[in-house]
Amino acid sequence: MSFTGVSAAERRRMLHEIGVGDFEELLAAVPDRVRLDRALEVPGPLTEIELRRLLGGWARANAADRAVSFMGGGCYDHYIPAALDAIALRSEFTTAYTPYQPEVAQGSLTVIFEFQSMIAELTGCEVANASLYDGATAAVEAALLARSQTGRRRVVVAGALHPHIVGVLNTYLEARDVTIVPDRGGACAAEDLREALGPEVAGVIYQQPNFFGLIENPRGIHAMAHEVGALAIACCDPIALALIEPPGAAGADIVVGEGQPLGIPPSLGGPGLGFFACRQSLVRRMPGRLAAETVDSQGRRGFVLTLQTREQHIRREKATSNICTNQGLLALRATIYMGLLGKQGMREVAELCVQKTHHAARLAGAIPGYRRAHAGAFFREFVLECPLDAAAVCARGLEAGILPGVDLGQFRPAWRRLLLVAVTEQRSAEEIERWVKLLQGVGGAA
């Protein structure tokens, strides 16, 4: 660790070499509003008893552990079967960070292969990788693959893509290379997308279901992208794919998404699990790890990493990708979740989400002052227009032990009265009634 300065003299020498006077100059680009202007209140040293009390108090501060959650927007409160933890915590799955040596990592490689197989089937694609960091970076990797494959630079975002994914796209790509096609009525309008396309477009990214929970028209988007020689990239919810047509089967070139709903707890917003699938002809440009089936010298079935080498991903701007790892533990959890539920179980979860979300939407729409903000088919969440700021509804809900939804005003001021409501299979009829009474009380006060 010789590159880490441990003395004042070493730090001064390092700062001098890079041409700055002090460490604070390196932070000049960080906005003041997100910088802490005081020292961290770090107690210690502590005994084990004291540390348990401290961490336990912090854990109890998480309202999601005791409140009824109707929050969504990319991170959902789905039920996790008890068997999942029992299997995922088995010592057989505790393996080395990188399964480079197949003779000692068959457990990890087998799970990766099963994960890839399940994701490929779920997305309707021919091949899937071993996972990426989260859904947002998976979408970026899809955009980079489209640029590499087509030799073009511009990426078009069709309709209501999650603002966080748009933000990550803008971080990785130059702003002039990302064209946002605003939603119309909550979804992508064909005429708006057609106007944004051209021969310089590398790929078209859309979300299915989209950020507002609405079902897009995937075949129309795919056709328009292919007409100009661009790749069609679908950013999908894995639970929804158990019920709606897989984008890969409908002509998408790449299907990515966030795997958190597959047996991973919300955990204060992370970590996530990015899945990435594509058609076979793109496999050489696919980022990350890829496990494949083979046989050993005695003809016995086994698994190895294939096609992609670490060196392929550390060549800076010449690399296929700079992603050279995967979310092994979370991919394991997703594999166990999908294996426990099976096709029918996942479809039942998706159907329950649809039924309960539509039930909640009907009840909310009957409350004076509230209405659905968008028309059209929706899956597990919908946008509710409130008679006052959504932030006020959320504040009142927290007091009542209910997380009523996501305040969309945090993304755009024009959305300040919009509440994004998600209803998973976990929500009971009694909990939905409590949520309705909360809305009635807040609406009456307004």
Pairing label, strands 418-422, 406-407: antiparallel
Tokens encoding 90:
């088995």
Structure confidence at residue 98 (pLDDT): 67
3-state secondary structure of 386: coil
Which amino acid does the sequence have at 179? T
Structure confidence at residue 445 (pLDDT): 67
- CA 116/CA 127 separation, integer angstroms: 7
Residue 245 is classified by DSSP as P
Alpha carbon distance, N-terminus to C-terminus of the chain: 59
Tokens encoding 209:
């279901």
- CA 255/CA 246 separation, integer angstroms: 9
Indicate the burial class of 201 (C-beta count within 10 angstroms; 0-12, 13-18, 19 or more). buried
Tokens encoding 287:
């980022």
Pairing label, strands 201-208, 231-236: parallel
Pairing label, strands 154-158, 178-181: parallel
Structure confidence at residue 341 (pLDDT): 97
Ranges under pLDDT 70 in the chain: 1-5, 94-98, 310-312, 445-446
Structure confidence at residue 11 (pLDDT): 85
Whether the ω angle into residue 45 lies within 30 degrees of 0, i.e. cis, is yes
Give the torsion sign (CA, 355, 356, 359, 365).
negative
3-state secondary structure of 402: strand
pTM above 0.85, yes or no: yes
Instruction: Judge whether 165 and 135 are in contact, CB under 8 Å.
Output: yes
- CA 417/CA 396 separation, integer angstroms: 14
Structure confidence at residue 324 (pLDDT): 77
Answer left, alpha or beta for residue 151, where phi above 0 means left and psi between -120 and 50 means alpha. Answer: left
Instruction: Judge whether 305 and 96 are in contact, CB under 8 Å.
Output: no
Closest by alpha carbon to 274, among 291, 283, 262, 292? Answer: 262
Which pairs count as long-range contacts for 84-92, CB under 8 Å and 24+ apart, including other chains? 84/263, 84/333, 84/336, 84/337, 84/340, 87/336, 88/329, 88/332, 88/333, 88/336
Per DSSP, the residues of 293-309 read EEE-TTS-EEEEE-S--
Structure confidence at residue 44 (pLDDT): 77
- Please tell me the number of Cα atoms within 13 Å of 96 on its side-chain side: 10
Structure confidence at residue 95 (pLDDT): 57
Apex 235 CA angle, 234 and 241, nearest 5: 85
